[in-house]
Amino acid sequence: MVRDLILGFVPDEWLRSLDYTTLEKVSGHYITDDLQGRADDIVWRVKVGGEWVYLYLLIEFQSSVDKHMALRMMVYVGLLYQDLIKSGQISTDGRLPPVLPIVLYNGGKSWTAATDIFDLIPPVPGLIEQFKPHLKYLLIDENAYSDSTLASLKNLVAAVFRIERPTSREAITDLLTSLHEWLADRPDLRRMFALWIRATLMRKSDYHVVLPQINDLQELNVMLSERLETWAHEAHTKGMQQGEGILLRRQLTRRFGPLSQSVEARFPHATIEQIEVWGDRVLDASTLDDVFRTH
């Protein structure tokens, strides 16, 4: 996943040329107690040129905008460097390895935070301006990629982005088929994706779907395909219900004036059949009670 994140979403040819079979996760034990829960297991290293010269990838996952993210990343980078010095994992001449700070954002709002700590500090006259710190992070924003762009990538991170923001229910089943083929030789990843996709779909209120425990992408795809027709029917029925309800409200308001809260409360739970019965009564009813009578 980290390899695909770099290869698919970091715009740098040199980084894409590295040997990601050497990729290793680095322990987050260096993080101080107050940051421990926020920064563990986010540091990876990869060899450069076959030598033990590390490029460290510092990845932070965000679902909301943090205006001080640049400061947080500067703190993380500083703590990482301190630990590398303490553990002797620096070059013999004392130089530090490069670090690429990455913020992966999947929130619904546009990312508005500064990507360089320099921009968090207002301009200062004279000498002090020269000593304002610089530390940038690379922002990877899911919202910046269209579904067609993501679909063109044979990339696991792109698949994650598409599942989190599916354009249609059919797109989900197509993606599951692709994932099953891509991961043909990785049953462990097929199982992990099946579990994660099931949980993700069940959290989405748009689908109102409950799925049994499934550990296989193919089984999940079959089950979702069987539900496509049901979902489509429910969506069509809901659309018709809303349209009929809007029309009836307009008719009732024109006949009887503004509707009370108690009348409005009838519509969200009414079936299409009930709305049609009420609509038939509008022309002959003398009062609202005549429209909503139960006999």
Q: What's the rounded Cα separation, in Å, for the pair 55 and 44?
A: 8
Query: What pLDDT, on the 0 to 100 scale, is given for residue 210?
Result: 59
229 found inside a domain: no
Query: What pLDDT, on the 0 to 100 scale, is given for residue 140?
Result: 93
Query: What pLDDT, on the 0 to 100 scale, is given for residue 24?
Result: 86
Q: What's the rounded Cα separation, in Å, for the pair 140 and 102?
A: 7
Residue span of the structural domain in which 117 resides: 2-144
Q: What's the rounded Cα separation, in Å, for the pair 130 and 150?
A: 41
169 found inside a domain: no
**How many CA atoms are closer than 13 Å to the CA of 123, on its beta-carbon side?**
2
**pTM for the full predicted model:** 0.67
Q: Supply 290's token pair.
A: 């005549």
Q: What's the rounded Cα separation, in Å, for the pair 288 and 294?
A: 12
206 found inside a domain: no
294 found inside a domain: no
Query: What pLDDT, on the 0 to 100 scale, is given for residue 128?
Result: 92
Query: What pLDDT, on the 0 to 100 scale, is given for residue 65?
Result: 93
CA nearest to 99, candidates 118, 117, 114, 79? 79
Total domains present in the chain: 1
Query: What pLDDT, on the 0 to 100 scale, is given for residue 36?
Result: 52
Query: What pLDDT, on the 0 to 100 scale, is given for residue 8?
Result: 92
Residue type, 117: I
Query: What pLDDT, on the 0 to 100 scale, is given for residue 92?
Result: 83
190 found inside a domain: no
212 found inside a domain: no
Q: Supply 107's token pair.
A: 């929130």
Query: What pLDDT, on the 0 to 100 scale, is given for residue 59?
Result: 85
262 found inside a domain: no
113 found inside a domain: yes
CA nearest to 79, candidates 102, 58, 105, 54? 58
Which residues of the chain are under the pLDDT cut of 50? 37, 40-41
